[in-house]
Amino acid sequence: MENPFTLIAEYYDEVMQKVNYEEWARYIKTLFSMAPLKPIKTVLDLASGTGNISTRMAAYGYEIFGLDYSLGMLKVARKKIEEKSLPVFFIQGNFRRIPFREHTFDGVYSTFDSLNNILDADELSDTFQQVRRILRNGGPFVFDLNTEWSLKTEWDNLTRVEETAKTISIWKSRYLNGISYLYFTLFVKIDPEKDHYKRISTVFRERGYEPSEIKTMLKRNGFEKVFIFDHFTLNPGKSRSSRVTYLAY
C-alpha cells in the first residue's frame, strides 16, 4: 500500500493552510532556549513533511536537516528550498536508523503529532534511542503527541468536511483497539466550472501514548531531564490534555 502522506503530498499544503506554522516555530525556539546546550545551530527536523516548519526555523538562523520517509512530501519540500535558497537539506530515511553519526545535532524536533504515526511502542523507543545517539549532550529534543485520551474521546466518531479554493476534504475518525483511524477522502478540483474532481482516499493511523509512558521511555533511552507541557504553553501537560509537547535532554 502506498504511503498515505505520499498520496496527498501534492495537495497537503492546500489542505493544511489554516495551520499556524509560525506559532509552532516560535514555540520550538522557546523550548530550545530552555535546554543547557548553547548555542544551538545544527538541527534535525524529524518527519519534516513538506518543510513548512523547516523553512521557518531556517529563517531563525538554524541550519536545518529534514528527515522524512515519504519521498512525495520531500519532493514538495525540496522545491520550496530551491525557491527560497535557505540552508535546509532534506533526506529520506527510517527513524529507527537515522542516517547520521553520533552527536551530529545540537537540537531535534518533530511536529504535528508525527510520532503518533509510530504504532509500536518498541519502534518508538528505538526512535528515541536514535535521537539520543545523534544529539549532542544537553541538546533539546522537542516533539508533540496526541494523548490516548484525546484520540479515544475527542477524535472517536468525529466527522468533518473542509473546503479550500482547490479541495474538498472529508475527515472521519474512529478509535478501535488502541488505534485511531482517520478515513480521509480528498476531492481536488480539476475543472471547477464543469464540476470535475480528482478523488483520493486513504487511511491514516495514530496511536496515543500516556505522558508517563513517554517519560519513562525517554529516560530509559538516556534522556536525563524530561518536561511535559500542555501544547503551545509552559503549563504542565496531563493525560487528559488534547496534545502535549515534550522537552527532553
pLDDT of residue 192: 67
pLDDT of residue 1: 59
pLDDT in tens, 70-99: 999 999 999 998 878 888 999 999 999 999
Which residues fall within 8 angstroms of residue 18, CB to CB, at 6 or more apart? Answer: none
Q: Is the pLDDT of residue 8 over 90?
A: yes
pLDDT in tens, 159-199: 999 999 999 999 999 999 999 999 999 999 987 677 789 99
Q: How far apart are CA 239 and CA 249, in angstroms?
A: 21
In the chain, pLDDT over 90 holds for what percent of residues?
A: 92
Mean pLDDT of 8-12: 97
- What is the domain partition of the chain in residue ranges? 4-148+209-248, 150-207
Mean pLDDT of 23-32: 98
pLDDT in tens, 114-142: 999 999 999 999 999 999 999 999 999 99
Confidence at 215, pLDDT banded by 50, 70, 90: very high
Binning the chain into helix, strand and coil, the percentages to the nearest 5 are 35, 35, 35
In the chain, pLDDT over 70 holds for what percent of residues?
A: 99
pLDDT of residue 221: 98
Residue with the three cell numbers 476534504: 169
Pairing of strands 167-176, 158-163: antiparallel
Residue with the three cell numbers 552527536: 103
Total-model pTM: 0.96
CATH architecture of residue range(s) 4-148+209-248: 3-Layer(aba) Sandwich (3.40)
pLDDT of residue 48: 98
One CATH from 3.40.1440.10, 1.10.150.20, 2.20.25.110, 1.10.1740.10 for 150-207: 2.20.25.110
Measure Cα distances from 207 to 8, 68, 141, 221 in Å: 21, 19, 20, 20
pLDDT of residue 135: 98
pLDDT of residue 85: 81
